[in-house]
Amino acid sequence: MPELPEVETIVRDLRPALVGRRLGPMRKSTRSLRSPWKRSWRRHLRGACVRSIERRGKWIIISLDSEVCLLVHLGMTGQLRVMPASEPVAPHTHLIFHLDGGRAHLRFRDVRRFGQATVIETRSLAAFFDRTRLGPEPFKLDASYWDQTLGATRRSLKAVLLDQSVVAGIGNIYADEALFEARLHPARSACRLTAAERGRLRQVLPKVLNRAIEGRGSTIRDYVDGAGQVGGYQNEFRAYGRTGEPCQRCARPIRRVRLAGRSTHYCPGCQNLRPATHARVNAEFGE
């Protein structure tokens, strides 16, 4: 599933390709995405000029001068690209927006159809994300909010990081990578972390995500960037998907378990479940 780094990469690719261009007629497939497409939305989109493209969590926000936003969620296999109209339409393409009088297209393709596209008024954008209970961005985590939120739940760290109402944009891959970086066992109860450990995790999250953005995201199966190219950060994984391979820090084999309903990868040597062993780790982080 595309997570924050993949979505951010696509947003950065789409900005120079879309901002300032006008949307023409659109076509949709007969198959539905996660939510239905309303016919009334067409009149708000046709002829509208793209003002900006931003990201919120895993959502792509395309703001138009008609005072509406086209919101796109890639789900598990979604792809959003600008391409010449002459390029053959790939199977599982569900939305096509004409650009430049039909010479180019903005196409949304989604093999598994867990993605979503919706149109809302610009003034309702904040309320939309409030209704979806989307948490703060990992780059702007307030220390007091983080301490209070983690301290109030017995859930595992893996479950907390996957909860989009706690922190937006993180999924299975980067939860594993961040917990490895922070030397925290994914099964640790969030409320049992020390203040130093909570702070360490808060600082590690943007570090890992920024590295992944620099690597243009991770391609496991379907992800391609806004130019149709695969990501490169999958070659830099230190925990995710490395079951049985030696840890890059201590050489112990990486383990995989089922946690919070997802496959979870960790090092049993570096990410000890017992917090009493973390004094040395805290010292290494200068805590």
Residue 262 appears among annotated catalytic residues: yes
**C-alpha dist (Å) from residue 81 to 18, 96, 161:** 10, 10, 29
In the set 55, 58, 198, 238, the catalytic residue is: 58
The edge-to-edge listing of strands for the beta sheet with 104-110 is 23-28, 93-99, 104-110, 78-84
What gap in Å lies between CA 185 and CA 183, rounded to an integer?
7
Catalytic residue among 3, 6, 8, 197: 3
How far, in Å, CA of 236 to CA of 286, rounded? 25
Structure tokens at 74: 């890639």
Q: Are 34 and 116 in contact (CB under 8 A)?
A: yes
Sole residue written with tokens 């937006």: 168
Judged by DSSP in three states, 275 sits in helix
Interatomic CA distance for residues 152 and 144, integer angstroms: 12
- Of 211, 245, 262, 287, the catalytic one is 262
Could you confirm whether 58 is annotated as catalytic? Answer: yes
Query: Rounded to whole angstroms, how far apart are CA atoms 158 and 264?
Result: 8
Structure token digits, residue 98: 């004409």
Which member of 2, 5, 138, 186 is catalytic?
A: 2
Q: What is the DSSP letter of 245?
A: S
DSSP string, 174-198: HHHHHHHHHT--TTSBGGG--HHHH
Does the annotation count 258 as an active-site position?
A: no
Q: Which residues participate in catalysis according to the annotation?
A: 2-3, 58, 262
